[in-house]
Structure 1
Amino acid sequence: MTLYYSLVFGLLVFEMVVFMSLIIPMPFTWKRKLLTFISESPVIAKLQYWIKITFVFILILFVDSVNRVYRVQLELATANKANNGAGAAAVGGIERMEIQARKFYSQRNMYLCGFTLFLSLILNRTYGMILEVLRLELENRQMKGIDKPKDGKLNESSSIGEVGRLKKELAAKDRDIETLKKQAQGLSTEYNRLGDQVSGTSDSTPKKDR
């Protein structure tokens, strides 16, 4: 197994561990603290960003593996036709075994990348459903008086998962503001340059005598 497919396998194992940690039964307080940490931690946010980029490369590997499986299937069909038409059974058998080995490796890579991408979708959906269930459970506990919301603070049931989203939106707006500042600075510099150029041209033009 090559290095990048070994990394894909490691990511698949990591996804399995995360999935088991999400669905494993645990006390309500522990689960609330865990999901609050995941949604508000900047380290987790950066990790999610890089994992999304990694999934783009895994998608490319998946498409390439599907293409390889298709080509090996064509080669195997061609080899079978050649073996049926010719009498070289020994040579044909060795060639067919080599094609079968490449078919096995291509299918293994396709299943590995496919399951990794599929499990990522399951993780995303499961995380959203757990947040929703936790929010409803916390509202139910507050209605029963088990967990009373403190005055002057946001309801914790609505703040779980919301803080991380607001931080991402704030970071995106900060980037937009920086981009607008750079554009305004560039326009101001260009305006001053053109103004100086026009002013220098008008000063150098001799006035006509009346």
Structure 2
Amino acid sequence: MTLYYSLVFLLLVAEMALFMILIIPLPFNIRRKMFTFISESPIVAKLQYGMKITFIFILILFIDSVNRVYRVQVELAESKDMGGRTAVLGHERMEVQARKFYSQRNMYLCGFTLFLSLILNRTYTLILDVLRLEEKVKRYEGSPKAGGKQGEKLENAGNAGEIGRLREELAAKERDIEALRKQSEGLSKEYGSLSDKYEATLKDNTPKKDR
């Protein structure tokens, strides 16, 4: 097995392990914290972006392996049509059969890796939906443990880019509010200074009463 197909096999094993972790029955709080961490971690977001690029290369390998299987099938069909050279084609036929086996193995390996990636994505989405529904049920039932920061984070789970965008908007709003606060303080000081000057002017212009 070549290096890139060995890496694809390792990725398939990692996907199987991750799938087992997702379907393991865990307590609600632990599962909620785990998915909240996954949705907010910038490292996980970068890893997801890298995995998308990796799956594109795996898709190319899958298409190439399908093409190789098709060509081997054509060679086998042509060898069956040539019945007069059985002694010469014996070794060649074994070679073609070996190439057929390796091509089919690579095709199944890449195909199952891509298929399992879709299953993982769908399973992750379904688990997020279940957690949100459980959170809403606990809120409706009046559970004191429901809601809070973890519940709010869970509502935004599964979309790290959206969370980052909202955080940037919130930071920009806070900067605008801080700038308005400083401007208001400056205007307030200026108003106080003008009021003092106006009162001093009124005192200076007031005629003094004769004793």
TM over 0.5: yes
Alignment match, 1:201: none
Residue 27 of structure 2 aligns with an amino acid whose one-letter code is: P
Alignment match, 2:23: 23
Q: Following the alignment from structure 1 to structure 2, what is the Cα–Cα distance between the partners of residues 122 and 172? A: 32
Task: Return 5+ residue gaps in structure 1 as ranges.
Answer: 174-210
Identity %: 62
- Cα–Cα, structure 1 residues 20 and 100, in superposed 2: closer, same or farther, change >3 Å? same
Task: Return 5+ residue gaps in structure 2 as ranges.
Answer: 170-211
Q: How big is each residue's C-alpha offset from its partner over 1:66-94, in whole Å with a ceiling of 9 and x where there is no partner? A: 00000000011111111x1x1x3332221
Alignment match, 2:81: 81
Alignment match, 2:98: 101
Structure 2 counterparts to residues 47-126 of structure 1, below 5 A:
47-82=47-82, 84=83, 86=84, 88-126=85-123
Is the contact made by 2:32 and 2:150 (CA closer than 8 Å) also made in structure 1? no
Cα displacement (A) at 1:168 = 5.2
Q: 1:149 aligns with which of 144, 147, 150?
A: 147
- Cα–Cα, structure 1 residues 172 and 156, in superposed 2: closer, same or farther, change >3 Å? closer
Is the contact made by 1:136 and 1:157 (CA closer than 8 Å) also made in structure 2? no
- Cα–Cα, structure 1 residues 30 and 71, in superposed 2: closer, same or farther, change >3 Å? same
Q: Is 1:34 paired with 2:34?
A: yes
RMSD: 2.3
- Cα–Cα, structure 1 residues 125 and 168, in superposed 2: closer, same or farther, change >3 Å? farther
Is the contact made by 2:135 and 2:146 (CA closer than 8 Å) also made in structure 1? no
Alignment match, 1:12: 12
Q: Is 1:166 paired with 2:139?
A: no
Q: Is 1:128 paired with 2:148?
A: no
